[in-house]
Amino acid sequence: MPPSRSSAATRACDSCRRRKVKCDATEVCANCRISQLSCRYTSVPRKRGPKVPGTPRIQRPQDHGPIADDQLWLSPVSYTEHPEPGEATSSSQSGQLANIFSQPVAETTLGPTPEWAQSVRDGLLAFMSSALPAVPALEAVNKCIDVYMQYTFPTTPMVHEPTLRASASRFFSSTGTTDLFEGQTQQEEIARIQAFSLITALCASVSSVMPDSLLPHRQILASPCLEASREMLKAIEDYDIENPNSSSIVIRIFHATALQHLTGKTALSYFILGQATLLIRHMRLHSEEALMSHDALEGQLLRYIFWQLYAADKASICLSSRPVLLHELLFDEEPSLRQSGETLIPLLDVTRPWYGESFEERLLVGFHFLPRLWSSAASLIFDMRLYARDNQHANKAHLTQTYMEFLGIMDGLPPWLQAANVIITHDDGEAAQFQKTAFWVQRCTVLVTFQCLRLVILQQCIESKVWDVMGLNDQALTLPMTKIGMVHDFVQTLDDIPFVYLQVKGEPTVERIRRVGSVLLEIIDNVSNETIIMRAEHYFTRLLDLLARLDSKSSDVLAELKELSQARRRD
């Protein structure tokens, strides 16, 4: 029997403490020898006292069958029950995030330790191996990356694929490495914690949005990956805010997306997205000069991240969804950031044969369509609001010209985004199918955005009493007929898009549909012409059916509003 550890005689080793079993406190305790576990005494004893309200209760994942203690207790994990792959989850279940962490970071004096980070990683892998015993963790993570690169990257090129693949191999391989977060300096250790937070944030974001047909195990992965990523980011948050980089912003964007889809907490999602936007302001990414202090790859990522959040900020003007942070008038200098840098650093993994030589360049052309659409529409809406307040600087001729420029953006849609060139045929090889799928995602996003913005602009014209900007007048049926015509175009666009491309866009697509549904309700409420009302109700029913297929809570909300509208009409 090895000699007793005098320094640990009054407490159990880490493994026994976590498993809540009696420990003999020897150099290598009997329990660890039997279970072939690493016997360590690193955990800091907690002060005893009353239990803090809300402390998570540790539960075994019984719905996935028995699991050995040495798997379950690699780190203390609060497991929530997860459905079998393909089984639908309720909103309450999807909102329960698996609480994966060991000792709280606050108990350490120098911030997160490599041992602490390792325990978070080990806890996540223990959960994944128990919940998905037939799917290796690395395979599950790489599948998330695959789906992201094909269905999300075309409209949000914010990551470097080779770096993601390397992080996946490092943190999710089956090897029992125990020094994954060790580094020569604290900055290096923080960088590794950040890398883990990024890859798990991507998995959480993708799993929360994608349909089961593309990611069968998404409902099992989303919440645990999100919680692990948030714990890691929380541990390094102070340093991360003071020393931001592209990952600092992207992690928060992924968190905002995952929270929106998993919990439906829009305010929380916008708050975290606001943090990402404030980091952009802090880093002065609107300035070309600001990117010169970064290496070529980092500068390129920051450039595309700026344009992505710039478009999102312009959307907030158009849809009145949240406060504006990136308006040109708020900068202390004229924005000078160009769409592209002098040298294109590939973000895709060029070793993969299905990308092709010019694929990434074409993707970037389509990507920049969205900031142009949102920026043009936002400028027009902003100027119309100023005009409505008797601002003489916004004249009607200028408004008309801006509207014409907005419409003209679609004239520049490149050939590879035209409908005839994105339809997949049986003769297409793997590379052609992959590329057409990515271009379909872009085409779907651009067209749905454009058709929705036409209606939003019309609504603002009516509110600002400048309908003549669009060549209209205020005669009784002119505006309702124009609205119905635009709704028809919107619904027809949705019908022409394969359903999976609406699914992969998640909440943004739902928001566009919801906005058009609100326009239809307003027509039903305020127009007396029965023909127009019948058409509005017909389109409204079709949108409700589509929202139901997208499994959106908005369908319930709009259905309730429609019932109220019909009740008012009967009264």
Cβ neighbours of residue 429 closer than 8 Å, sequence gap 6 or more: none
563 within domain boundaries: yes
Q: What percent of the chain has pLDDT over 90?
A: 53
Residues 28 and 134 in one domain: no
173 within domain boundaries: yes
The answer to whether the beta carbons of residues 317 and 371 sit under 8 Å apart is no
Taking residue 370's Cβ as centre, other Cβ atoms within 10 Å add up to 23
Q: What is the mean pLDDT of residues 222-241?
A: 95
Residues 407 and 317 in one domain: no
Looking at per-residue pLDDT, the higher value among 85 and 404 belongs to 404
Q: For residue range 513-537, list pLDDT tens digits in order.
A: 989 999 999 999 888 899 999 999 9
pLDDT reading at 30 higher than 80: no
Q: How far apart are CA 4 and CA 277, in angstroms?
A: 55
Residues 279 and 194 in one domain: yes
Domain final residue pick, 394, 424, 443: 443
Residues 296 and 156 in one domain: yes
Domain final residue pick, 280, 314, 332: 332
Q: How far apart are CA 486 and CA 469, in angstroms?
A: 16
Residues 383 and 517 in one domain: no
pLDDT of residue 357: 78
Burial class (CB in 10 A: 0-12, 13-18, 19+), 237: middle
Q: For residue range 172-208, list pLDDT tens digits in order.
A: 997 767 889 999 999 999 999 999 999 999 999 999 9
Q: How far apart are CA 12 and CA 39, in angstroms?
A: 10
Cβ neighbours of residue 372 closer than 8 Å, sequence gap 6 or more: 409
Residues 378 and 489 in one domain: no
78 within domain boundaries: no
Tell the residue number behind the tokens 């008038």, with chain if given: 329
How far does CA 15 lie from the centroid of its chain?
Answer: 36
318 within domain boundaries: yes
Residues 566 and 526 in one domain: yes
Q: Which residues of 6-19 are buried (b: 16+ CB within 10 A; e: fewer)?
A: eebeebbbbbbbbb
Q: For residue range 81-132, list pLDDT tens digits in order.
A: 333 433 434 333 333 334 444 444 444 445 678 899 999 999 999 999 999 9
147 within domain boundaries: yes
Looking at per-residue pLDDT, the higher value among 265 and 446 belongs to 446
The answer to whether the beta carbons of residues 194 and 164 sit under 8 Å apart is no
Residues 179 and 316 in one domain: yes
State which residues form the domain around 429. Answer: 363-443
Please tell me whether the overall predicted TM-score, pTM, comes out greater than 0.75 for this model. yes
Residues 34 and 124 in one domain: no
**Side chain identity at residue 247, one-letter code:** S
Whose CA is closest to 207, among 164, 268, 146?
146
Question: How does the average pLDDT of the chain come out, rounded?
Answer: 82
Question: For residue 197, what are the CA distances in angstroms to 136, 183, 185, 203, 266?
Answer: 19, 17, 19, 10, 22
The answer to whether the beta carbons of residues 357 and 309 sit under 8 Å apart is no
Q: For residue range 419-477, list pLDDT tens digits in order.
A: 989 898 888 888 999 999 999 999 999 999 999 999 999 999 998 888 888 888 878 78
96 within domain boundaries: no
Residues 516 and 400 in one domain: no
Looking at per-residue pLDDT, the higher value among 390 and 155 belongs to 155
pLDDT of residue 6: 41
pLDDT of residue 568: 55
Residues 328 and 400 in one domain: no
294 within domain boundaries: yes
Burial class (CB in 10 A: 0-12, 13-18, 19+), 288: middle
pLDDT reading at 171 higher than 80: yes
Q: How far apart are CA 408 and CA 381, in angstroms?
A: 17
pLDDT reading at 143 higher than 90: yes
Q: What percent of the chain has pLDDT over 70?
A: 78
Kindly state the tokens that stand for 518: 């609100």
Q: What is the mean pLDDT of residues 565-570?
A: 56
Residues 255 and 164 in one domain: yes
186 within domain boundaries: yes
CATH number at residue 19: 4.10.240.10
pLDDT reading at 49 higher than 50: no
In the chain, how many domains are there? Answer: 4
